[in-house]
Amino acid sequence: MRVAFLGLGIMGRAMAANLVKAGHEVAVWNRTPGKEVEGARVAASPAEAAQGVEVVWLCVSDTAAVENVLFGADGVEQSLTKGMLIADSSTISPSATRKFAERVARKGVQYVDSPMTGSKAGAESGTLLFMIGGDEQAVEKLKPLYAAMGKKIFRMGETGKGQSAKLVMNLQIALIYEGFAEALTLAAKLGVDAEQLGALINSSMVKSGVIEYKLPFVLCRDFSANFPLRLMRKDIRLALEAAKEARVKLPGLETVEEIYDVAIEEGHADLDYAATLLLLEKWAGVEVKGQAA
């Protein structure tokens, strides 16, 4: 298929590369020049990238970035033609997603929200999980592209439901990791070995994919960004905004948001979200580490 891939960040660059490897004809664009994908054509603007393609795929930072790429100067909108598809793997507002979909529908273009989970490693290995909101026939057309970048898709319903599912997934990730980080901090203060605690957790009902994935990084003090803390805070805020719109109270997430706000003030914005542990350690006067650290 002919694809315009817009956004070559931590996730997007690997996703675009997998589309090329699968034999698709790919044009790429990134807000900051200089990023390339081997085998893909580099475009000077979103509008140029989208000319003559069947699918426009987005993977950018936030709701404002999606709106600008679609409808701003040199945006995708000016290159849209009837029958094209837009798939958005950014994590953004569900209500904004529905508005964007309504706008492009006037040109006969279908919009499929397609946020994913699987982190940097999943993007590189082509094993992402996609949460999809959109028309079933449109999703069917996109399946060869999902197959090139991921291992499974979950259609959650109509447009906007994929983004809604992503927000509640990241809500859980943020809360689970924060509980784990607090447990590690208290354990360190009480003299409990972190590696032994990790083995215990992974052998008990407390076990989770979040803990299993993050534990090795924490034990070796590697807080380089697989998912930057600033982006997790963005997703926390999106979830709280969606909750406010739906008149739902999320007291646990409100508290975790405060932790992220302070962590960013402490200079941890571009580290992995696991770096909220650094703030807890500072407050407690301890450091969590394994033998390898």
Q: Which ranges of 158-265 does DSSP label H, i.e. alpha helix?
A: 161-190, 194-201, 209-219, 229-245, 251-265
To the query of whether residue 166 is one of the catalytic residues in this protein, the response is yes
User: Which member of 166, 214, 282, 289 is catalytic?
Assistant: 166
CB 254 within 8 Å of CB 271: no
Please tell me the distance from the alpha carbon of residue 89 to that of residue 268, in angstroms, as a whole number: 25
Closest CA to 55 of 76, 73, 39: 76
**Concatenated DSSP letters for 58-70?**
E--SSHHHHHHHH
CB 111 within 8 Å of CB 134: yes
Residue 143 exposed, middle or buried by CB count within 10 Å (0-12, 13-18, 19+):
exposed
Residue type, 156: M
| Length of the chain in terms of residues written | 293
Which pairing describes strands 41-42 and 25-29: parallel, antiparallel, or unpaired? parallel
Closest CA to 153 of 101, 118, 110, 105: 118
Catalytic site positions: 166
